[in-house]
A and B are shown apart, each in its own frame.
With several copies, the nearest count.
Chain A
Amino acid sequence: MTDKLTRRQVAWRLAQDIQDGMYVNLGIGMPELVANYIPGDREIVFHSENGILGMGPEPRDNEADYDLINAGKKPVTMLPGGSFFHHADSFGMVRGGHIDICVLGAFQVSSAGDLANWSTGGGGVPAVGGAMDLAVGARRVFVMTDHNTKTGEAKLVRECSYPLTGLGVVSTVYTDLAVVDVTDRGLTVREKVDGLSFDELQSRTDAELLGRETCGVLNSPEVG
């Protein structure tokens, strides 16, 4: 069994693709890890859809202020140059195409870049939050996810079976096994972890994968 990347390693790998000066929205949960691995020479402005630009790191415990929280409702800090604005202005930024990259989790991503990440379609309480706005609004949507579910099912699928969050919105998927770009021809593997054959990767994937000849090695250092 090939070594999968840890979630932190996936976050590290994704962070390398965020360029200096970009405006980035990190979804709630796993995507929040990405902030820890931005290369030190890059200045990134983090957006939180509740109305913040320029979020800094978590506060020390005794400095938490619950009027200064991110979309995941966790206390954050402000960097010099940050700003506050109301919800309509914040989602104007999102829908208006001003956010360079949004990082989201996913239940499924299809060959066409369709994203399903808000509902597994069963009963329970429906809840969508800002995911649909971010999915259509961000210039690029990066998905960060395990390659397979805990029960081994593929998350990169020919067609999403779960209700969609957005249609053809995903640019790139970062999994614990591979970096996969959504292209006009379909899902193209850019990198895969060392020691994993293309056929093995395909066998763990429902969607057809392209890039057999061109894909490189997915390297990510041990990160804490």
Chain B
Amino acid sequence: MIDKTVASLHEAVSVVRDGDCVLISGFGESGNPTELVHALIDHGARDLTVVNNNAGNGNVGLAALLESGNVARIVCSFPRSTASHVFDEMYKAGRLELEVVPQGTLAERIRAAGAGIGGFYSRTTIGTPLAEGKQRRVYNGEEFVLEDPLHADVALIKAELADRWGNLTYRLAARNFGPIMCTAATTTIVQARKIVPLGDIPPEAVVTPGIFVDRVVEVPNPVSEREMIENGVHYLGGRKP
């Protein structure tokens, strides 16, 4: 029998190892797997590469993961924000390697990894400093640059509904990076607001088929990073339970 549900956040992230590349879903406040990220801090794997559209806010979630010192490198499209002080300080202090990738290229590189594509050509970055050193192709009179797939060891994903096969739906625009990140990691770990019986999600409504998912943990009332930041929460990490 297939049962991808696990009982605890701790168990869910226990597979993460030192040196892993970790995809983290979310855009702004929507779709961040904050509980999984906090569990990863507690788990303590070090020397991580993390991939997210941004670089964290306040001192919670991804920002807290950076602050834990367990991240060596971050790949993102837009690390700056009004509350990205953790990233800003670490980057300026040279304690964090940064790879800036245009948002669409980032998404397509993740999708390519999941779909067995060994590179693709995009017009994005042509004429810009970010195209330097990239292989070119002219097709149909237009110039393109070669981009590599972005494979990961682990993906941490926030979803709305899940079932024991790992089928997922997402809430509103919280879908963002979730479906593609699920496909691109060796182990995909999901926190879902609700785990429903198999068959409750109609086959037409499944957004991420369970084939891309390895572990699902139910987090019925996920925290709001925005509210935590407003309330001055500083996640320092707990101990392994």
Contact = CB atoms under 8 A, between A and B. Distances in A.
A86 B163 contact: no
A103 interface: no
A100 to B, nearest CB: 9
A84 B28 contact: no
Contacts, number: 209
Nearest to B197: A80
7 contacts: A20-B2, A73-B29, A87-B107, A88-B107, A88-B180, A95-B122, A125-B98
A85 B168 CA distance: 13
Interface residues of B, number: 72
B116 A86 contact: no
A28 B110 CA distance: 24
A84 B77 contact: no
A49 B103 contact: yes
Given A80-B198, A133-B105, A167-B126, A86 B178 contact: yes
B29 A69 contact: yes
Contact of A45 (B114, B117, B165): B165
Interface string B87-120: 1100110000010111111111011011111000
B172 A67 contact: yes
A144 interface: no
Contacts of A91: 103-105, 107-108, 115
Contacts of A127: 77-80, 100
Q: Give the 10 A-B CB pairs with smallest separation, nearest first.
A: A80-B199, A95-B116, A167-B127, A91-B104, A92-B115, A133-B104, A73-B28, A83-B206, A87-B107, A130-B103
Interface string B161-174: 00111010011111
Contacts of A73: 27-29
Contact of A53 (B130, B175, B209): B209
A96 B183 contact: yes
- Indicate the member of B128, B178, B197 with the most A CB atoms within 10 Å: B128
- Indicate the member of A65, A78, A85, A164 with the most B CB atoms within 10 Å: A85
A164 B127 contact: yes
A136 B31 CA distance: 27
B211 interface: yes
A128 B127 contact: no
A136 B117 CA distance: 12
A43 B178 CA distance: 26
Interface in A1-25: 20-21, 23
Nearest to B113: A96
A81 interface: yes
Contact of A51 (B78, B100, B175): B175
Nearest to A21: B2
